[in-house]
Structure 1
Amino acid sequence: MPTTYSISDLARELDVTPRAIRFYEEQGMLAPERRGQERIYQPKDLVILKLILRGKRIGFSLAECKELIDLYDPSSGNHKQLNTFLAKIAERRLQLQQQLLDIEQMQLELDTAEERCLAALAETTA
């Protein structure tokens, strides 16, 4: 019999709150079995939750994570899922590169503003 998890087991295993797990359920990303009020999670739920958390860490939206999870198809070797994932990685890299450029530009503007303020202060104290 495969290992199953309660909501608290899953939360403890992945260091998330039970509330977070319920949120992903509400979003349709997890669908545990029910025994009365108790939620019973399967190993696949653990994998899905790991994928969600990894996706969030690299900046994917929940919709993007859900799209990638929904594309899982072991019968096709997951080619569609993996190609979509590669495209999203490339897109995320471009976004991060643009953010780096924006940050560098903002730092230059801050340096200029700081120099002007220091020069103005120097003039008023001279």
Structure 2
Amino acid sequence: MAAPYSISDLARELDITTRAIRFYEEQGMLSPERRGQERIYSGKDKVTLKLILRGKRIGFSLAECKELIELYDPVHGNRKQLETFMHKIAERRSQLQQQLLDIEQMQLELDTAEERCLSALAETDKKQGITA
């Protein structure tokens, strides 16, 4: 079993703030032991934090991360968790594909606006007798 971690140990090791760790604790995603005022985090807490951070990096909401973590069942296997994860990956991929299409459309609109501005500037310069 992994050695226990203090909040500062976890923050340093995972490169996050202690405030972020306390936030995840407030959300019910971590449950450290208490020794007086001191929080003692387990290896399981560290793994949970890593999963939260990975989920956030790929665009999952905190609720989605929590759902996936709660689906883990070491006794009966994690098939449901993996199937749910695959479904969420497909959804996220679809969202990203739509965002890419939206960005490409915006770029085309910017190109058109820029061309019109350049044309209008050239026309203005021509009317005023300005040469480049």
**With structure 1 as the length reference, what TM-score do the two structures score?**
0.98
Hey, what does 1:119 align to over in structure 2?
A: 119
The separation in 2 between residues aligned to 1:57 and 1:44, in whole angstroms, is 20
Q: Secondary structure at the match of 1:74?
A: coil
User: d(CA) in 1 for partners of 2:8 and 2:69?
Assistant: 23
Q: What is aligned with 1:47?
A: 47
Structure 1 counterpart of 2:98, which letter? Q
- Residue matched to 2:75: 75
Q: How far 1:20 moved relative to its partner? A: 0.4
Aligned-CA RMSD value: 0.8
**Partner letter of residue 8 of structure 2?**
S
* One-letter code aligned to 2:110: L
Residues paired across the two proteins, number? 126
Counterpart position of 2:110 = 110
**Identical positions, percent:** 83
Partner of 1:22: 22
Q: What is the aligned partner in structure 2 of residue 101 from structure 1?
A: 101
* Inter-partner Cα distance in structure 2 for 1:74 and 1:16: 27
Q: Deviations over 1:39-64 (max 9, x none)?
A: 00000000000000000000000000
Structure 2 portions without partners, runs of 5+: 127-132
- Give the CA deviation at 1:2: 4.0
Partner of 2:4: 4
SS in 2 for 1:34: strand
Q: How far does residue 74 in structure 1 lie from its aligned partner after superposition?
A: 1.4
Partner of 1:88: 88
* Per-residue deviation, 1:76: 2.2
Larger gyration radius, structure 1 or structure 2: 2
